[in-house]
Structure 1
């Protein structure tokens, strides 16, 4: 049975080789850096390659990982850039007010007046918290902080989220000097 792309969830990205025994640096996606090791076999997005974790240990911002069948540095170097996925149905249900990034992609973004601003195309975290990347019908993409203040309601059933943006959110002018 073929699994479509939207039924796969990106768990981690393999980076550079680490040492000479086939270990690699893995950048995990998720709150727990070692959580990608909990789901058994990981696959590439197209499902043509699979990887089973033999051992893993967290080290700063990466997880040093040994995959079964990867015995030396040359084999490890060939894995650089490979994305690791699991099937969506392998994940536990999200708790209340918790969402998997993949579930947010494609949701319509509706402002307080009922106008559709665009669709969520990705969720990014550049270090200061989650941002929703929105693609409007025309023009370039823009970001909205994924906080309760900016996104008071998410309805996965209705495939939409409501946003409450400040009046000047899309202002391109210079900020007004504050009075002090």
Structure 2
């Protein structure tokens, strides 16, 4: 699905008439409706999304074809994807998470530290979850200019200057 970017996630039912809770991953959260039709990972298409309100940490929305609480609950955890070509171009220092996942991470001396498994954000900035080459516990690398001075999407690699001891072993 490299031609698609995850722009949101359904978080279950809101009320009993088929409305859903919708988490938007867009820089301007309400812009998620502009990218419809959206598709799920299994190919289900959602042609129309109408925001109906805003709750705690999510919007409430109506999605075409969803009319009952049970149908809305069945979609809980469903990621929503938009075609990459309909999304805005990013500045040079910003990246779609999908583009970072799978990249090799090397230290400034060229040694392989691992591969990006996920991009996380717990409120204090993005973290790259890096899986070491031999397996074992993943390492959370701060995704800052100091710790990650180079992201080279063309060559599929990241150069990292991690804090001392982060990749000990």
- Which residue, out of 120, 136, 140, partners 2:137? 140
- Which residue, out of 124, 139, 161, partners 2:120? 124
- Does the CA contact (< 8 Å) of 1:8 and 1:45 recur in 2? no
- Does the CA contact (< 8 Å) of 1:33 and 1:58 recur in 2? no
Cα drift, residue 126 of structure 1: 1.8
Match of 1:41?
A: 37
CA deviations over 1:27-66 (Å, ceiling 9, x no partner): 2223322232110211111313434203343333101111
Instruction: Give me the whole-angstrom Cα distance separating, in 2, the residues matched to 1:128 and 1:117.
Output: 23
Match of 2:84?
A: 88
Closer/same/farther in 2, CA of residues 22 and 29 from structure 1, 3 Å limit: same
Closer/same/farther in 2, CA of residues 55 and 86 from structure 1, 3 Å limit: same
Match of 2:7?
A: 11
Consecutive unaligned residues in structure 2, runs of 5 or more: none
TM-score, normalised to structure 1, is: 0.84
Consecutive unaligned residues in structure 1, runs of 5 or more: 173-180
Instruction: Give me the whole-angstrom Cα distance separating, in 2, the residues matched to 1:12 and 1:136.
Output: 29
Larger radius of gyration: 1
- Does the CA contact (< 8 Å) of 1:10 and 1:84 recur in 2? yes
Match of 1:176?
A: none
- Does the CA contact (< 8 Å) of 2:46 and 2:64 recur in 1? no
TM-score, normalised to structure 2, is: 0.89
In the alignment, does 2:55 pair up with 1:59?
Answer: yes
Instruction: Give the 3-state SS of the residue equivalent to 1:57 in structure 2.
Output: strand
